[in-house]
Chains A and B, each alone.
Chain A
Amino acid sequence: MAKTTLPGSLAAIQDDFLALDQGERLQLLLEFSQSLPELSERYRDHPDLLERVVECQSPVYLFVDVEDGVVRINVTAPKESPTTRGFASILHEGLDGLTVDEVLGVPADYPLDLGLTEAVSPLRIRGMMGMLGRIQRQVREKSGA
C-alpha cells in the first residue's frame, strides 16, 4: 500500500479553496465545473468503456488510462449537475498526468479537506469520495500496483 502524500497539484487546489470565504468557495467550485474538459473522441464514441460512479446522485462516468506509468483521467458529468461536475473537474485537474504512485498516495478523505463541507454539505461530498475511490481502484487494476 502506497503511503499517503498529497501531490502538489491537489495541495494547490486545497490552498485555493481554504484561502476563500464560504461563498467564494462555492464560486470557485462553479469555475471548476465550467472548466471540465470535454471527453476525448474515443470515449465520446464508446460510452460503454466508462464506469458509472454510483455514489454520485447525477450520472457521472469515468475511465482511467495508465500509459508508461502516467495516469490519464477521463470523466464526464451533465451540465445540470454543476456540483458533481465541479468535483470531477477538481480531480481531473489534480490527478491527470500524475504517476501511478502519486495517484494511489492521495488520501481517501481529500474531498473532506477542501473546506467545502459547510458550503456544500457532507452528504454531497460523499460523491466526490466515490469518484476518487474509483479512480484509485482503476489505477491499481490497470497498473498492477
Chain B
Amino acid sequence: MLAPYCEGTSADQLVVRLGLEAADWWAAHTQATCQRGSLVLSPTRDRAELAQFAGRTEGYVKVDGPQIAALEPDLADRFASGLYFEAEAHLAPRAALAQLRAGLVRDGTHFVQDEANPDDYARRGITVDCRGFQARDTQRDLRGVKGEMLVLSCPEVTLNRPVRMLHPRVPLYIVPRGDGVFMLGATMIESSSAAHISVRSVLELLSAAYALNPAFGEAEVLEVGVDCRPAYPDNLPRIRRDGNLISSNGLFRHGFLLAPAMARMVADLIYENIIPEVMDETPG
C-alpha cells in the first residue's frame, strides 16, 4: 500500500512526509500502481477505534454506509461509517519491481546476483548496501520485526481499493491485486525469525477477512508469506556512510512507501554531496 496518511496513525511524521512522494514516483516509473484511495473501516462494536484513527490522521473524508457502498459495492450494508483517504494508492509490488528492473536494463544497468561482502565492493568504488535485515552484520542496532501475510483468490469479491479494518486485537488490511486476488496483511511480531507463519496468525488474518466479507470463507489460499522487516529502535530509516560504503536501511514496514525518498537522498548524497535528513553519523 502507498498509504502515507494512514501510516500517520502510529508512525512518525517523517514517514508521512517522505511517503507522500511515493505514489507519484511509482506511477511515473511503472504501470503497477492504482490510485483509487484507501478505505478505513471498523465493526460497529469497535467504532472507538475509528474515532481514534481519525483523530491521529489527516487527508480523509468521513463516509457513511451509503457512501461506503458506492465506493465498494461488495461491502454494502456491512459498515455504517468509515474514512476515505482519496489521495492514497496501492501497487502490485512484484510487477512494480519487475518493470523497474526492465527499465533499468533498457537503460544499460547490469544486474549481477552474487553473494558478496559489501566491503569488497566498497574497495572498488561507491557501494550502496540495501540488504535490509541481512545487513545485521554491519548494522548492529537493526532488529527484525516478523511480518506474515496471505494471498487469497476470491473471485466472488470485488474491492476497488485497499481496505483497512480496525480492530483492537487483529487489525487487518486487504489489498486487491486484480483478477479476484487479494493480499491480506500483516502481523507485526518482535521476532527475527522468518521461518514459518503460525497457526494463530493464519487464524487471525482469515477471521478478520471473514468479518470484512463472509464470502472470503470460500477463498483459496494461494500463498503464505513470512519475512523480517528491518527496523532500528525508533522504527525510522537511516542512511549511514563509511567511506565508499553507504547503507540505506531500517525501512521497517514502509519499504515501497519510503524507497523513492530514500533512493533520492542516497543519489543526492553521492552526486551532489547533499546530506540526507535521515543521515545518521553514529556507527551501527
Same complex origin of A and B: no
B residues near A (Cβ < 8 Å) are none
